[in-house]
Amino acid sequence: MIGAGFAGLSCAYELLQSQQFNVVVLEARDRIGGRVWTVKQTDFEFPATTTDHQYRTVERGGELIGLNHFFWLTYADKFGLHMDYLADPSLEEEPEEADKEDESKEMYEYMKLIFQELDKEAAKLILYDEKGVDIATKPWLMEKAKQLDNISLEDYLNNIQKSYQGCTLQQAKEKGFDLPKFEFEKFKEVMDAAKHDFENNNGLPCNEQSLFFNLITIANGNRKIDKQLFNNLSDNINLEKESVKMLSFWDDAELFRCREGNGALAVKFAHHVEALGGQILLKQHVERIQIKQDDVQILLEGNHKFNLPNGAKIEKIVWPWLLVLGRILQWNLRYPPLFNHRWDI
């Protein structure tokens, strides 16, 4: 497994749970967690009077968690972590100024049109197989997976933009638009903002992002969450509050903090991976993977070959960054694989 971020660690955990694989995780950094990096109270000085739990950790990476983080919340419940609801009065921010609210309202109305198009596309995905088995964790099994995986998010968003050229106010209102005037130039500005948002969130240009895996994320984020799960996760989440809709990937995005710190989930994964016999090796910067007819070599920084313990052979390599365009790949080492042309592997 290449990478000990949440994707790599959760994938290692699930593979080991299946009892079909021995797993070695290679991580380039000197820590686990990837984009998540929690600094704990023991790492720096706090005022002597500090007692509240929200001051005991600081997130130097990804911070906020929403109802749309379906798998995050499920694993947090499984591993006994807790969430603190940001709508708690002690955590609320000051109200925005009126002019900022008006500007925000205008942007939201245009952004809503984009969100609705993505929601409609995501709703077409079938998250269950013919036997009713949930296959959301195995999205490559879904119908049209490869077809959608080879469409970039950039191309899809550009097509949405073209479809609104010449759009009348009446047509926009039929799609829920709630402003007195529809301006295509404004729509284009908001579309650019949406693209920047996708790029910031996913760490990749839109023209290199897979439409399919963005849709999978949206589809899972729009699932209804079991109320019992939240009873387990938190003592300060009121599911009857109007702000907790439990329906929207877009609106319920940044509602919670993990009380123990987001990095606690990475630590839980790591403990389970090691308890199940897996290995996590830090400071192992993978630069290239050479695949031959009957052998695989992993080359680390400085062109050093990585050797598995006890002379074991590599059967599968998992690089769990499936967001990248055209990354639905499977290969058997007896046959040379085909790779996307952008990858020097």
Instruction: Tell me: pLDDT of 164 over 90.
Output: yes
Nearest to 71 by CA among 201, 229, 209: 229
Please state the rounded mean pLDDT for residues 116-140.
78
Report the pLDDT averaged over residues 213-237.
Answer: 71
CA dihedral (36, 41, 47, 50) in degrees, to 10, reads 90
Q: Give the tens place of pLDDT for each residue, 37-46.
A: 998 765 555 4
Residue 90 has pLDDT above 50, yes or no: no
> Residues with Cβ < 8 Å from 51, sequence gap 6 or more?
none
Relative to beta strand 24-26, strand 279-281 is parallel
83-85 and 256-258 strand pairing: antiparallel
% of the chain exceeding 90 in pLDDT: 31
Reported as a pLDDT band with limits 50, 70 and 90, residue 195 is very high
pLDDT above 60 (res 140): yes
Q: Average pLDDT, stretch 226-231? A: 63
Q: Confidence band (pLDDT; 50, 70, 90) for 151?
A: very high
Tell me the two tokens of residue 251.
């609106």
CA distances from 234 to 146, 162, 225 (A): 39, 44, 14
Instruction: State yes or no: pLDDT of 241 exceeds 80.
Output: no
Q: Which of 63, 65, 47 is nearest to 55 (CA)?
A: 47
Q: What's the pLDDT band for 326 if we cut at 50, 70, 90?
A: low
Instruction: State the average pLDDT over residues 307-315.
Output: 70
For the chain, what is the mean pLDDT? 77
pTM above 0.75, yes or no: no
